Amino acid sequence: MTLGAVGTQVADALGIDPAARERIAEPTGSFPWGAHLPVGTLATDSVALVSLAIALHGARRGDVRVDRERVAASFGSERLLRIRGAAPSAWAPLSGFWRAADGWVRTHANYPHHERALRTLLGLPDDAGTDAAAAAISAHSAAELEDVAAEKGAIVGRVRTPEEWLAHPQGHLVAGAPIIEHRRWGHAAPRTEGFRVLDLTRVIAGPIATRDLALAGAEVLRVDSPALPETGWIHVDTGQGKRSTLLDLSRPTDRATFEDLLSCAHVVVTGYRPGALTRFGLDPEDLAERHPGLVTASVSAWGTDGPWAERRGFDSIVQAVSGIAMVESADGDTPGALPVQALDHATGHLLAAGIVWALTAQREECGSTDLRMSLARTAHALLTSTDPATEPGRVVTAPPPLAFPGAPEGYPVVGGEWGADEPAWLG
């Protein structure tokens, strides 16, 4: 398999030998997606690279084989998830695209505290619905809503074109940053044998990365604050292979417990806004000083530097702000979206690839390693990719449920065009 533009950038940044990349076989299957951007190649590359990194780390023989249909199912997992037979409600009523006075904005109000902040921003009572929200948003400019929301703790992104985003200070800074940043310092030997991961991430991108590590054999423990609950179905969707616990780091007893966990960890992955964990001494530099040989990794919405570094953001907001929503517009006016939350998923897989690469490199180079990725930088890589757009593939159906010995794993004939066959037996 020849990696696409984004995968090549990451492989080059990590120093993955071209000969090793040849172990990635040509992917099988096809994507059920159609998009103006090469989101299928981004998805395939991200899964291929983390799979290759795991194979190299464990000295596993054989080719890395990626199935596009499995990748598509994973990237769109929230649409397949069922809890007691019911599909989760992925989007809150106040999350989505809205017309402002001079353009479009996108809001994110899936978490209760973000919804409260948005209602406060718009002056909406608790029982006000989408019509009232639409009216309130239409009375303000997109730029005003975006900036005031950031001050009030609400999440509103102005829909821009790619050119408008590149002209923005944060967009310009992101475009010039490496797709995956990594630093190494110190000369400490790798931490004791094992593969223990402290997972301080939320939502999708970070949990995807740590889920990959769990599938690679790591013992992953997710730690959350009891004051910041996670949406239950999201954790069900991204928490496979991991354990989850609650600790309040402002409490001395919980902090002592956390420090004990940290002392035995090999990797710490964070998914909070840059600086959010500084008061707990969890910046990479502080961690490396206290625990030499530790691998740290972080994922953020906008990157660690620039005027937007501490702003809140999610995949959908980054798509809107970066220009992806307008590229994916069906009519050139109404914003669109990628067929899946590919920025989250791809960034998570690529960050996991970087973490495993760092653990492998430590065997010879020693020292502590810090890796950083952002959804905005992945968005820029996708927008500037030279790969062809993602075209929908062949029909994809569920496999047969039959379980007798020798039962087929797939259907010999996928349903064809209705009524097109001859009225005759084949044999």
For the chain, what is the largest distance between any 2 Cα atoms, rounded to a whole number of angstroms? 79
Taking each helix axis from N to C terminus, what angle separates 342-365 and 68-75, rounded to the nearest 10 degrees?
Answer: 110
213, 54 Cβ separation under 8 angstroms: no
Q: What residue type is 277 in one-letter code?
A: L
4, 387 Cβ separation under 8 angstroms: yes
The two three-digit tokens of residue 286, written as one number: 């502080």
Rounded to whole angstroms, the Cα distance separating 56 from 52 reads 6
DSSP calls for 288-313: HHHSTT-EEEEEESS-SSSTTTTS--
Rounded to whole angstroms, the Cα distance separating 294 from 378 reads 25
- Pairing of β 156-158 and β 103-107: antiparallel
Average pLDDT across the chain, whole number: 91
Could you identify the residue written with the tokens 């809205």?
Answer: 98
pTM for the predicted model, two decimal places: 0.92
Rounded to whole angstroms, the Cα distance separating 285 from 400 reads 52
| Chain center to CA of 257 | 29
Nearest to 296 by CA among 387, 206, 226: 206
Summarised one tens digit per residue, pLDDT across range 198-242 is 999 999 999 999 999 999 999 999 999 998 888 888 888 899 999
Would you state the CATH architecture of domain 89-397? 3-Layer(aba) Sandwich (3.40)
The two three-digit tokens of residue 393, written as one number: 């593939």
SS3 state at 184? strand
Our separate counts of H helices and E strands in the chain read 18, 10
DSSP calls for 370-391: EEEEEHHHHHHHHHT--SPPPP
Rounded to whole angstroms, the Cα distance separating 166 from 160 reads 10
Question: Residue-wise pLDDT tens for the chain (427 aa)?
Answer: 689 999 999 999 999 999 999 999 999 999 999 999 999 999 999 999 999 999 999 888 889 999 999 999 999 999 988 988 988 888 899 999 999 999 999 999 999 999 999 999 999 999 999 999 999 999 999 999 999 999 999 999 999 999 999 999 999 999 999 999 999 887 777 776 778 999 999 999 999 999 999 999 999 999 999 988 888 888 888 999 999 999 999 999 999 999 999 999 999 999 988 877 778 888 888 888 888 889 999 999 999 999 999 999 999 999 999 999 999 999 999 999 999 999 999 999 999 999 999 999 888 888 889 999 999 999 999 999 999 999 998 777 777 888 887 888 777 766 667 777 887 777 7
Nearest to 293 by CA among 314, 322, 263: 263
Task: Give the pLDDT of residue 413.
Answer: 67
Q: What residue type is 330 in one-letter code?
A: A
Q: What residue type is 385 in one-letter code?
A: S
Query: Per-domain residue ranges for the chain?
Result: 5-80, 89-397
Summarised one tens digit per residue, pLDDT across range 394-414 is 777 777 888 887 888 777 766
- Sequence-distant (6+) residues with CB within 8 A of 318 are 157, 301, 302, 324, 343, 375, 376, 379
